[in-house]
Chains A and B, each alone.
Chain A
Amino acid sequence: AQTVTQSQPEMSVQEAETVTLSCTYDTSESDYYLFWYKQPPSRQMILVIRQEAYKQQNATENRFSVNFQKAAKSFSLKISDSQLGDAAMYFCASYNFNKFYFGSGTKLNVKP
């Protein structure tokens, strides 16, 4: 079974601070992709960052970076210099067997 687990249902961070969201996954494939998606309230999901499993280098996108630990099947998201607009649900997802598998999400609150 392909599973994605997010163990933090909700987290809070002070504006301008750094926060890390955790994710673990399980897959039997050797080639796969991992993602973090952001879902603001009542708005569509948008891609935050993507990691190809065959790449050892951790992906970065401006203030967003990941810590990809392939052996541990861990894929955490670090948000630096948090902004009020970062407040949303964040979903970790894997892509294998031609479809996406999502975790249950982490709600991120950003305090001014």
Chain B
Amino acid sequence: DTGVSQDPRHKITKRGQNVTFRCDPISEHNRLYWYRQTLGQGPEFLTYFQNEAQLEKSRLLSDRFSAERPKGSFSTLEIQRTEQGDSAMYLCASSGVGWMNTEAFFGQGTRLTVV
């Protein structure tokens, strides 16, 4: 296991199209986070899972965004009817149990460009 992997690395889509991103966490990690990062800003929390349960979703997240983590393994983030404002880097991170859940390992991100 070489770490958190995200696919695709880059995605260009037309406004109004749906897109789906995938994240494969470190295998023994039970927590998985999605963050969004725009240019010149720090990552902004979107949602997180403990195993397969989605425990929290940012109030800033519109209903066009949905995330799943079936069987507590990989996760997908879907954006429906994309808008230009959705253009950003989408980061996935995972962390372990107990005190280890405070150390997050990040993937390389998926850069979304909406044209």
Q: Mark A1-40, 1 if CB is under 8 A from B, else 0.
A: 0001010010000000000000000000000010001000
B42 near A45 with CB under 8 A, answer: no
When distances are taken between beta carbons in the complex, the residues of chain A under 8 Å from B43 are 45, 91, 100, 102
Q: How large is the interface on B (under 10, 10 to 19, 20 to 34, 35 or more residues)?
A: 20 to 34
What 0/1 readout, one digit per residue, does chain B (75-102) give for beta carbons within 8 Å of chain A? 0000000000000000101000000001
Report the Cα distance A44→B107, complex, angstroms. Answer: 6
Does A104 sit at the interface, judged by CB under 8 A?
yes
B111 to A, closest residue via Cβ = A42
CA–CA, A46 and B33, complex, Å = 15
Distance in angstroms between the alpha carbons of A32 and B83 in the assembled complex: 36
Interface check A55, CB cutoff 8 A: no
Please state if B91 and A105 are interface contacts (CB–CB under 8 Å): no
| B21 contacts across to A, CB distance below 8 A | none
Within the complex, the shortest CB–CB distance from B22 to chain A, in Å, comes to 16
CA of A71 to CA of B61, assembled, Å:
33
A91 and B42: CB pair below 8 A? yes
Smallest CB separation, B85 vs chain A (Å): 18
- Total inter-chain residue pairs, C-beta < 8 Å: 50
**In this assembly, does B25 line the interface, its C-beta being within 8 Å of a C-beta of chain A?**
no
Looking across the interface, which residue of chain A has its beta carbon closest to that of B46?
Answer: A99
Do residues B91 and A45 form an inter-chain contact, with CB atoms below 8 A? yes
For B56, the chain A residues whose CB sits under 8 A away are 98-99
Measured CB to CB, the nearest residue on chain A to B9 is A42
Cβ-defined contact, B45 with A100, below 8 A? yes
Beta-carbon contact of B40 and A95 below 8 Å: no
A98-B48, A98-B55 known; A103 and B42 CB under 8 Å?
yes
| Residues on A facing B (Cβ under 8 Å) | 4, 6, 9, 33, 37, 43-47, 50, 91, 93, 95, 98-105
Q: Could you jot down 15 A-B contacts, CB within 8 Å?
A: A6-B42, A9-B40, A44-B106, A45-B43, A45-B91, A46-B106, A91-B42, A91-B43, A99-B33, A99-B45, A99-B48, A100-B93, A102-B44, A103-B42, A105-B40
